[in-house]
Structure 1
Amino acid sequence: MTPRGCLICAPLVARSVSQMLTQMQEAKANGADVVESRVDHIPGFNAAKDLPVLLNARTLPMIVTARAKWEGGVYEGEETERQKLLELAVKLGADYVDIELQVARDFIATLKQNKIVSETKVIVSNHNWEVTPSLHEIGELVARIQSTGADIVKFATTATNITDVSRVLRLLAHSQVPTIALVMGPKGVIGRILCPKYGGYLTFGALSKGQESAPGQPTLADLSHVYRVGQLGRDTKVFGIIGNPVYHSKSPILHNAAFEKCSIDAVYVPFLVEDLAEFLSIYSVPDFGGFSVTIPHKEAALKCCDEVDPIAKAIGAVNTIVRKSDGKLVGYNTDCDGALTAIEDGLHESGLASQGTSSPLKDKLFVVIGAGGAGKALAFGARERGARVVIANRNFGRAKELADAVGGEAIQLEKLSEFRPETGMVLANSTSIGMQPDINQSPLPKDALSAYCLVFDAVYTPRTTKLLREAAEVGAAVVSGVEMFIRQAYGQFELFTGQPAPKELMREIVMASY
């Protein structure tokens, strides 16, 4: 174990020994502490000839793994030959070898019978490719792995729900032996990031996207530079973004950089959540200090909070949840101010409004596409600034409900292209139409945009959506969702930490990510 605590291991899944050695150098340059040589991925691997080359040339500690096909690997040779390969790795002084639980007892007994003396640590592993068992069942599994004589316990489960990860982290926190605990799949990603906080021995990071050795594996660069897993410890506070989908979000890049800048012992992770109430009830410990909330949970968040800020309550949507010292969850909405100040500045900067004491939105016709959480924030914010509000939505009932709440007008989205009561209107899209990967979609045809003096799109991936591009082409001023994203994040950071947001850094981080 190194002083940094949890190690970062880069799995090498090359197709040749020379390529694997090149990957090892890449892994070292990108912050890996250990590499796993997945020799089962090399066609025709010759243990007697190739293992000495790999081990003698290693520049980092190395795990030698020849994963059997029956355990999710690609090794198809005889089992006796596979175990001889691993036995040779031990004789040659590999730092670690990985052997599956199903055959580990006999393998370790063979090492003892043959009186092989080595500093090699034996990792005994088990992979469940279907589910994450109960806490009791995981405990029994760990006991079975320990009973083989393993130096290091390793188990990997599959998350069918993000709440599965909590059981693995609980067991990891109470483990008395070196343990590698991983949760596979998209819903298990947080386990791979947070395992250092709970005492995990090692976590895996792929060299790049497409080179993962298991589903849901983050990249080495993300683990090292975005989540800074080498700095996480027992006292690290956890924050994150709750959404579905969520992995497109730039919030982890932004907030983690801000935490580092302000020397705050915290990490910000993506939470892929289906049932918000269930998630909040499971992850209810004080260490989980707050959450950003995005599509589709902003309205549900209102009902899940113990207290709600008056602005968020009026809007009917929460995009920020803070856990207070007494455990209560308090909901806020930073979308409203973030979006409306961006639009107001856009009007000023484009020469569409003169500087004055009142908002440039006063008396303007403000058209909002969408009636969800972000749409509500835009509608209420515009009304508070004196605008006349129109809500366009596919579901007319929802549009009417929101329009009535803000004293505005409702129309069906299909009719918006013909809605041109006046020129100089402001359009604000609050839906996900046009978001990656559907970048060729737009909520309105190009010829309908000429009636607007300014068009705002809450979508920020990509930075310039089809809606904004076409609006600019017909002469409208445009404001990207990036502006709303940055500004609402300022508010969230300050609510999470009680400190001023490092605004210049946060803006630089977001802009550099495009």
Structure 2
Amino acid sequence: MDSGNVLLASGSMGGGGGGAQLKNPTLICVPIMADTVDEMLVKVGQAKSASADLVEIRLDYLRSFVDPRGDLAALVNGSSLPTLFTYRPRWEGGQYEGDESKRLDALKLAMDLGADYIDVELQVAGDFIGSLHGSRPSKCKVIVSSHNYECTPSVEDLGDLVARIQATGADIVKIATTALDITDVARMFQIMVHSQVPFIGLVMGERGLISRVLCAKFGGYLTFGILESGVVSAPGQPLVKDLLDLYNFRQISADTKVFGIIGRPVGHSKSPVLYNEAFKSAGFNGVYVHLLVDDLARFLQTYSSPDFAGFSCTIPHKEDAVKCCDEVDPVAKSIGAVNCIVRRESDGKLFGFNTDYVGAISAIEEGLQASGNGSSSLSGSPLAGKLFVVIGAGGAGKALAYGAKEKGAKVVIANRTYGEFPAQR
């Protein structure tokens, strides 16, 4: 199901961990990558201080691993958090290039020494699990993973992949794909919400960021969060601090409403900081996320569930939003740009508004009055009769021009392309 309306129902199935005060059981895992065992244990301590639930020990990042038993025992016994051991080979996106039997033997040894989880790749999982002859420690759960660094397959293909992973005897299914478009993530959510087994489903890249946050809503077993910017084990991993403090990850539930800022680019926007803090202060069950959108119509059609309740809209989509909404406020229609989209819960219809002109014009009026440049015009606006120059004829420019004209200013538009600002406006 790669196109058309994707109706996402909220799920409640997920991983363990967390106290009764949490609204979801999805775990936060910190990938630990370092040259030495001692450095890894320092980072484990940092992960615990950051309120992570477990750590992924990436053995393939160790500069020296000549004493597997000693090093693994030190990592297991020295870790203050539950441990997931991964020894990722180059052919699956990792760093290891050595002998396969030694790699898999290290994972078996980690199980024997008390690891809580080990991650083994689908390509070798059947033989690996079969070689355990049913004698694996009951404490250790086996995650069988598949990584696609090219794209996100269809729902049907993802479903087949889940079945193949389950057939190996996996305790937990993990699938990581790549987002070519933000709508790709919807397919992962569909698999996640209907999964009958513990499922980790993540979509890599900036367009897949919502998979790492909203997995808590749709029933994912765990997500990954990093300790410092840029130090990632896969593209698009957010900071643990952002998961907890920005997105209020622990409070996301199946009933959480999703909002976000639609744009391209969008990662620089501070809107999530403002709205998520407001939601928290008001006790509102919502989360506000960055949405890197290439095709607005496709995005709105795909995420058509009432769960996706409203959006802010920024460049380059404000003008396209007028055409994508079912109804548009008369002021927004006059401006020719929408920066706020609200979905009506009763029928799913989209309503478009423009608040740019109110916020910007009010701020300019207040600035003029504070500087003593305000006039006592009949209109009551310090802009009345003044020359108002707008540089640019995009959505924000249209809103400013409209607002200034309504306040009685003489408006002049400066833009690179004459035809982008219709004469009637």
Q: 1:413: which partner in 2?
A: none
Deviation, 1:398, is 2.0
Q: 1:94: which partner in 2?
A: 115
Kept in 1, the 8 Å contact 2:33–2:61? The answer is: yes
Distance (Å, rounded) in 1 between the aligned partners of 2:144 and 2:413: 59
1:241 to 261, 275, 281: 261
Structure with greater contact order relative to length (CA < 8 Å, sep ≥ 6): 2
Amino acid at match of 1:405: Q
Q: 1:386: which partner in 2?
A: 408
SS at match of 1:405: coil
Distance (Å, rounded) in 1 between the aligned partners of 2:260 and 2:229: 22
Asked whether 1:366 is paired with 2:385, we answer no
Distance (Å, rounded) in 2 between the aligned partners of 1:327 and 1:315: 24
Deviation, 1:350, is 1.4
Q: 2:85: which partner in 1?
A: 64
Q: 1:221: which partner in 2?
A: 241
2:174 to 138, 154, 158: 154
Q: 1:176: which partner in 2?
A: 196
Kept in 2, the 8 Å contact 1:90–1:118? The answer is: no
Kept in 2, the 8 Å contact 1:93–1:118? The answer is: no
1:338 to 356, 359, 363: 359
Q: Percent identity, aligned pairs only?
A: 58
Kept in 2, the 8 Å contact 1:7–1:230? The answer is: no
Kept in 1, the 8 Å contact 2:259–2:311? The answer is: yes
Q: 1:405: which partner in 2?
A: 424
Give unmatched runs, 5+ long, in structure 2: 1-15
Deviation, 1:355, is 6.5
Kept in 2, the 8 Å contact 1:364–1:388? The answer is: yes
Deviation, 1:116, is 3.7
Distance (Å, rounded) in 1 between the aligned partners of 2:33 and 2:251: 27
SS at match of 1:112: coil
After TM superposition, the structure 1 = structure 2 runs for residues 15-54 of structure 1, keeping only pairs within 5 Å, are 15-45=35-65, 46-54=67-75
Distance (Å, rounded) in 1 between the aligned partners of 2:240 and 2:375: 50
Cα deviation 1:418-437 (Å, max 9, x = unaligned): xxxxxxxxxxxxxxxxxxxx
After TM superposition, the structure 1 = structure 2 runs for residues 429-468 of structure 1, keeping only pairs within 5 Å, are none
SS at match of 1:168: helix
Q: 1:347: which partner in 2?
A: 368
Aligned residues: 402
Give unmatched runs, 5+ long, in structure 1: 407-514
After TM superposition, the structure 1 = structure 2 runs for residues 182-193 of structure 1, keeping only pairs within 5 Å, are 182-193=202-213
Q: 1:477: which partner in 2?
A: none
Deviation, 1:354, is 5.0
Deviation, 1:233, is 1.2
Asked whether 1:276 is paired with 2:276, we answer no
Distance (Å, rounded) in 1 between the aligned partners of 2:283 and 2:365: 33
SS at match of 1:87: helix
Distance (Å, rounded) in 2 between the aligned partners of 1:228 and 1:150: 31
SS at match of 2:291: strand
User: Which sits farther off after the overlay, 314-323 or 349-358?
Assistant: 349-358
Asked whether 1:2 is paired with 2:2, we answer no
Kept in 2, the 8 Å contact 1:246–1:272? The answer is: yes
User: Which sits farther off after the overlay, 184-193 or 239-248?
Assistant: 184-193
Kept in 2, the 8 Å contact 1:6–1:196? The answer is: yes
Q: 2:128: which partner in 1?
A: 107
Normalization by structure 1: what TM-score? 0.77
Q: Please identify the structure whose Cα radius of gyration is greater.
A: 1
Q: 1:202: which partner in 2?
A: 222
Deviation, 1:288, is 0.3
Distance (Å, rounded) in 2 between the aligned partners of 1:380 and 1:104: 62
Deviation, 1:405, is 2.7
Asked whether 1:76 is paired with 2:135, we answer no
Q: 1:455: which partner in 2?
A: none
Kept in 1, the 8 Å contact 2:35–2:64? The answer is: no
Deviation, 1:118, is 3.6
2:150 to 98, 109, 130: 130
Distance (Å, rounded) in 2 between the aligned partners of 1:330 and 1:208: 39
Distance (Å, rounded) in 1 between the aligned partners of 2:179 and 2:330: 37
Q: 1:494: which partner in 2?
A: none
Q: CA, structure 1 residues 146+26, in 2 after alignment: closer, same or farther (shift >3 Å)? A: same
Kept in 1, the 8 Å contact 2:36–2:64? The answer is: no
Kept in 2, the 8 Å contact 1:323–1:330? The answer is: yes
Distance (Å, rounded) in 1 between the aligned partners of 2:108 and 2:392: 62
1:301 to 318, 321, 328: 321
Deviation, 1:380, is 0.3
Deviation, 1:160, is 0.6
Amino acid at match of 2:100: E
Kept in 1, the 8 Å contact 2:375–2:381? The answer is: no
